[in-house]
Amino acid sequence: MPTLFLCYRRSDTELIVGSIHDKLESRFGKSSVFYDQDDDSIPVGERYPDLIENAIRQSEIMLALIGKDWLETGLLEHPRLFDSHDEVRTEIEAALKHKVNLIPVLINKARMPDRDKLPVSLQELCALNASAVYAGRDFHPHMERLVQRIEDMLDSRKSSNKLSEPSEVDSRAAATAPAVDPVQTALEALARIAKTRVASSAHRFENGVCTRCGNSEQAATRFQWSCKADLEESQKKLSNARVRPRKSKTRDLVPDAEPALDSGQLYPGWIPAPVLLGAKTGLGRYSLSWSAIGNAEIYILQRAFRPDWSDAVEVYQGSRKGFEDCLYGFTRIARQPPAYYRVKARGNFIVTPTESLWSNVVVL
């Protein structure tokens, strides 16, 4: 693959382009410089336009040699660069299109052409910093300066490519990283919430006992009991929620999630609701699980397709704490409606209610 591409007009710089090619070839190698007069660069029988296009696309730097006759006119007294089939024009346009680094090289005191003397597609060339190469005794020092500039440009491209590529260590780390379990992540988040909720309760503990309600700090922390000073307001909210009609446009009142109670443990006020989690495991398949409630004998899981639960159906009733739901019938339609799930516990609780509140609603 060539590294450098020599773009020149034969009638303009043919006398010096051979010397420039030899100098670059001696520094960068024979196969690193594309020169259209080199038999190795253009094999016999190859289609010339396609070969030039591929060579420019694979090159890293193009040297555009500009002499005093670079803007020569054609038969109609019009600059040849304005001919869409001019070889120099098509080569520079290809370099700009493929984002190849372009270095203008001014030969023998030639000057950079004015912007208004170039086609619109080549006017970007005037904004590039040029390098000068003169024939005669100044040729070798000028070429050394040009070669140094090319080497600096190649080194900067290599360093930028190295930074953009991921390292082997990062690739191995990404390949061996454990998969994230969404259910486990949700459970950990609930545990963190439970730990911080007690700190904001209304208890005032001294020597391990609340001075307001008399509950021990250990029991209140474990079961997240509210202080009796706030119990009356909580029971009032609960009673208002229970008399509300079943078919409502709003969701049922969902209390804060509570941990499971030990068998025979009293709980002040109401039975905590289970914490419901759900995830999609496949096309039309959903996995649901919920937390345990002490003394609960069965769990009732409902599913609905309307947020007001007017079409709610019971999909599971039993002692397990998980359920796999399959909705194969809805996978055949263009847009599957969202499914709403909720669960509650029923059992021989010590307090008056025989059922817990409905859990949080999971939409899948």
CATH superfamily of 4-164: Toll/interleukin-1 receptor homology (TIR) domain (3.40.50.10140)
The pLDDT assigned to 267 comes to 42
Residue ranges of domains in the chain: 4-164, 182-363
Name the band, by pLDDT with cuts 50, 70 and 90, for residue 71: confident
Domain 182-363 part of CATH 3.40.50.280:
no
Over residues 22-45, the mean pLDDT reads: 82
pTM beyond 0.75? no
Distance, C-alpha 228 to centroid of its chain: 50
The answer to which of 20-29, 51-60, 85-94, 289-298 has the lowest mean pLDDT is: 289-298
Helical packing angle, 139-164 and 10-28, nearest 10°: 60
Report the distance separating Cα 60 and Cα 130, nearest Å. 17
The neighbouring-strand residues paired with 346 are 298, 355
What are the tokens at 337?
Answer: 């409606």
Q: Is the pLDDT of residue 261 over 80?
A: no
The pLDDT assigned to 266 comes to 41
Nearest C-alpha neighbor of 301 from the set 273, 257, 266, 343: 343
